Amino acid sequence: DTGVSQDPRHKITKRGQNVTFRCDPISEHNRLYWYRQTLGQGPEFLTYFQNEAQLEKSRLLSDRFSAERPKGSFSTLEIQRTEQGDSAMYLCASSLKTGTGMEKLFFGSGTQLSVL
């Protein structure tokens, strides 16, 4: 399968615990995005990388959230001291940026986080 892969698909945790999600993008894609989606809403942008550089972070990304893409391939999103409000679907997307203008974004199936 050459699509965007996310792991785990589901995560249940207790409030206050730390969680980490992994995303493996389409192999030749240089850009990787993280979005968050709550029930009945569209995906909301969190952050994105071009290769290993994190180029933009949303104000939604509090200091409890950290994302990395150490070798410009897979990425991890960590949430520290989880809160019930963090419960959501966390979506990863990747794209191939080759010039000016926006490129096509391809999404993974997401990680559904439930904080009890």
Partner 1 sequence: GENVEQHPSTLSVQEGDSAVIKCTYSDSASNYFPWYKQELGKGPQLIIDIRSNVGEKKDQRIAVTLNKTAKHFSLHITETQPEDSAVYFCALHNTDKLIFGTGTRLQVFP
Kindly state the helix (H) or strand (E) to which residue 54 belongs, with its residue range: strand 53-57
What tokens appear for 50 in the block? 């071009």
What is the rounded end-to-end Cα distance, in angstroms, of the chain?
33
Q: Which stretch binds partner 1 (CB under 8 A): 12-20, 42-50, 65-73, 80-88?
A: 42-50
CA atoms of 41 and 79, how far apart (whole Å) = 21
38 touching partner 1, by CB under 8 A: no
Counting residues that bind partner 1 (by CB under 8 A) gives 22
By the rule CB under 8 A, 74 interacts with partner 1: no
19-24 and 5-7 strand pairing? antiparallel
Which range binds partner 1 by CB under 8 A, 12-20, 63-71, 72-80, 104-112? Answer: 104-112
Query: Using CB under 8 A as the criterion, which residues of the chain lie in contact with partner 1 when the complex forms?
Result: 4, 33, 40-45, 48, 55-56, 91, 93, 101-102, 104-110
